[in-house]
Structure 1
Amino acid sequence: MSRDRDTAGDRRYDGAERVGGGAGGLEWTRLDPWMPWLSLSWVIGPLAPVAATALVAGDRLNPQTVITLGSILAAAAVITSIGLIRYATTRYRVTGERVELHSGLVFRRRRSVPRDRVRSVEVTAGPMYRIFGLADVKIGTGQNDADKGLSLDGISRTDALLLRRGLLGRTARSDSVIAELRPAWIRYALLSSWSPVIGLAPFGLFFRVLDMFGISPTEVGFLGELWAAVTATHPAVVLAVATGVVLAIGLTGTLLLYVESWWDFRLTRGPGRALLVRRGLLTTRSMSLEERRLRGVEVAEPLPLRWGRGARLNAVATGLGEDDSTALLPPAPRAEAHRAAAAVLGEDVSPTLAPLRPHPRVALRRRAVHAVWPPLVLAPLLAGLAAWLSWVPAPLWAAGAALLPAGLLLARDAYRNLGHGLHGPYLVTRYGTARRRTVALRREAIIGWTVGRSPFQRRAGLLTLAATTAAGKGSYKVRDVSVTQGLAFAEEAVPGLLAPFIR
């Protein structure tokens, strides 16, 4: 962007005083003039599958294909028109007290956010945004549907960064660094549970596009030849090759996604007591969070990542809803996640490493029962299908029975992961097996308790205790504790909060 634009942005947004000196301190401002050109660039996306389909179909274009192509081009024109209208009708203003946004042509929307209620500011710029020097600024105020803050989508990146500094205080790369991306961490991308899904996605997308344009796979020459070769090969070889191809594509995809999402990652603490997360290769993201809004941290360990002794670190904070980014650390060594958690909370030792109290053995029995009944139902069902349908392999019922020992092992692991305790000012709870979560939550942030008891829990003398907060997803659970143990723990964690409701 030009020096003139940077200077203008500095005059308008540099520092708290320059983000509006008072009510009406700034005139209403449009989005960046490059925004209409960005809208026009979205036409390129639909044209790519159109050109690819026309190339594959060749002279086999039928009326359905022509109609589909026309529909895509019409949709692209509509998207472009919407972008132009949004630029022409959107205005925003930042004063000393409020951030205001007016938008809409037929239905006018007026949003206003008090500056003292701003909890987080996230700056995002995708590849096309970066080409045009633009950014999307999301100003967060809370997690309620009626109070989601607002988004300034399409202002210059210079203005976006200076606006964030004015709203949350200055942060710079010279601030204290908590964590930075290390090249060795990329190996944890291979432990993503999304690898099989990513590996299958290209095949599903390809056949979906062919079906959308009314083209049968048998009409594409190389697919017919490939199918003939597959049918002439032993099924075991076909299965092994197909699995290898899917995994190769999936692992490559997870590696690329990891690099794109976490390139140049840096977690810093600014002089204004704000945490700043910067990351991204093609789409850059920069999220600022006031430390006084931080209520704790969560160490998340999905099962494949846990096998590799890895973990992720997420923030528990007010002003961050379920759809907001809470990641403070990418998939990294588990020890690094706990070290970063301690640094973020300002503790010598992370509360997530505190020893936890065990849960009653009856909680193990509940998990074992949950693991037993699916194989017991699935095995007879598969055996019945094999007897009814001739093309279903008879030994398939054994696949259901094979799930029994695996389920029991997972039930044992789920029980061993249960735990709760107190560590200074923090309540610590851990649960889960497919995704083990260890949450350290400030006790002062707990505003209520929810006691849940299913019929099976009542029979076993157990309950689930949920600490209700105004942070993150709202509640953090202590699962399957005895009634006496759970109520005593709630009273110990926040004295007097639950006592009026206990007889």
Structure 2
Amino acid sequence: GPPPPAPPHRGNAAAAAPLTDGEWHRMHPLTPLLKGGIFLIVILGYVLNSLRDQLVEFFIPGGGPQDDGDPVRYVYEHGVVGWVLLGVAVLLLVLLALFTLSWRMHEFRVTGEIVEVRSGVLFRTNRKARLDRIQGINISRPLIPRIFGTAKLEIAQAGNDANVQLAYLGVKAADDLRQRILVLASGAKDDERQHDPARASNGVLQDRVDEIFSPELDPAAVRATRIVKVHPGRLIASMLLSGTTVFILAAVAAM
């Protein structure tokens, strides 16, 4: 007889069909790193700056910094480089374990009624957005997540409840999931032909470049929504007549 159908793939890189099956799914594996990316970049910048100073001192004696309080210089002069490297390795392993645990505990599901997100290791949080209260779904791709091919979905709902965020998902999965949630929220029947899990690929590098420079909203993912175009002149006029602009002008005049 024919082979049994393969189980649905639960990865974020596939089409979003499995992501709306009501089961719990995890975010992109880089989510913990991307959420703490700014902090890690600051630490990395400090370390690289210290190493740069030491390299200058190595090749040009007397050309490096003369600050005795430099921690890198202190470690080198006291011969504890090995212990420090061991401590750094242990710290990295601990951070990796915490990131993995945080990723495994950060899940979401989409049913025929709600979009639910739960996260946290020690202190669990649970956010829900009912489909009949969804007012819009925004796709945000800041610079660093964009480089890694990820995006953030923010679901705005009516009422006093806070918005529900799905951060982070793969770019393609985010576009497809947004479209499917809008279809579910509208009560319309989904068209399976709109979701092609086997999108054409031009190579890993070219795909990443296309994702970086692609628009925030995939034009192919707007078939379930209505897009309204606003004339640039009207948009500029609305900004000039906004309360913020009037307040700034009044403050400048008062000064």
TM-score by length of 1: 0.30
Q: Determine whether 1:62 maps to 2:68.
A: yes
Distance 1:40 1:60, change over 3 A: same
CA contact (8 A) 2:105 2:121 kept: yes
Partner of residue 189, structure 2: none
1:391-410 correspondence runs (5 A): none
- Distance of aligned partners of 1:275 and 1:49 in 2 relative to their CA distance in 1, 3 Å threshold: farther
In the aligned structure 1, how far is the partner of 2:96 from the partner of 2:107? Answer: 19
Q: Deviations over 1:294-318 (max 9, x none)?
A: xxxxxxxxxxxxxxxxxxxxxxxxx
**2:18 alignment partner in structure 1:** 12
Name 1:120's counterpart in structure 2.
Answer: 136
Residue 137 of structure 1 aligns to a residue whose secondary structure is strand
Matched, 1:86 2:115: no
Which residue in the other structure is 2:115 paired with? Answer: 99
Report the 3-state secondary structure (helix = DSSP H, G, I; strand = E; otherwise coil) of the residue aligned with 1:9: coil
Amino acid corresponding to residue 434 of structure 1 in structure 2: I
Could you say what secondary structure the match of 1:84 adopts? helix
Match of 1:31 in 2: 27
Distance 2:41 2:243 in 1: 49
Pick closer, same or farther for the CA change 1:142–1:80 going to 2, 3 Å: farther
Q: Render the CA deviation track for 1:177-205: whole Å, top value 9, x for unaligned.
A: xxxxxxxxxxxxxxxxxxxxxxxxxxxxx
Correspondence 1:108-257 to 2 at 5 A: 108-142=124-158, 144=160, 147-169=161-183
Listed as ranges, the matches of 1:391-430 within 5 Å are none
CA distance in structure 2 between the aligned counterparts of 1:53 and 1:63, rounded to whole angstroms: 12
Kindly indicate whether the alpha-carbon contact (under 8 Å) linking 1:137 and 1:160 is maintained by their aligned counterparts in 2: yes
The alpha-carbon deviation at position 30 of structure 1 amounts to 1.4
Is the 1:118–1:167 contact (alpha carbons within 8 Å) kept by the matching residues of 2?
Answer: no
Task: Count matched residues.
Answer: 188
Indicate the SS of the match to 1:140: strand
Partner SS, residue 25 of structure 2: coil
Alignment RMSD (CA, Å): 4.8
Q: Is the 8 A contact 2:117 2:126 kept in 1?
A: yes
Determine which structure has the larger strand proportion and give its number.
1
- Counterpart AA for 1:152: L
Aligned-pair identity in percent equals 23
Matched position secondary structure for 2:28? coil
1:100: how far off? 0.9
Answer whether contact 1:40 1:80 (CA < 8 A) is retained: no
Greater relative contact order structure (CA < 8 Å, 6+ sep) = 2
Match of 1:161, SS?
Answer: helix
For 1:132, give the aligned amino acid.
F
Residues 400-479 of structure 1: matches in 2 within 5 Å?
432=246, 434-435=248-249
1:305-454 pair list within 5 angstroms: 336-338=232-234, 432=246, 434-435=248-249
Which has the greater radius of gyration? 1
2:226 corresponds to which letter in structure 1? A
Please name the residue that 1:465 is paired with.
none
Output the CA distance in 1 between the equivalents of 2:16 and 2:214. Answer: 28
Q: Distance in 1 between matches of 2:103 and 2:156?
A: 22
Structure 2 regions of 5+ residues with no counterpart? Answer: 1-8, 55-63, 76-83, 187-212, 251-255
For 2:112 and 2:35, the matched residues in 1 are separated by 32
Distance in 1, Cα, partners of 2:153 & 2:131: 15
1:95 Cα shift?
A: 0.2
The answer (yes or no) to whether the contact 1:125–1:134 under 8 Å persists in 2 is yes
Gaps of 5+ in 1: 14-18, 21-25, 171-261, 277-327, 330-334, 342-349, 353-416, 419-427, 437-503
* TM-score (structure 2 length as normaliser): 0.53
Match of 1:274 in 2: 226
CA contact (8 A) 1:54 1:61 kept: no
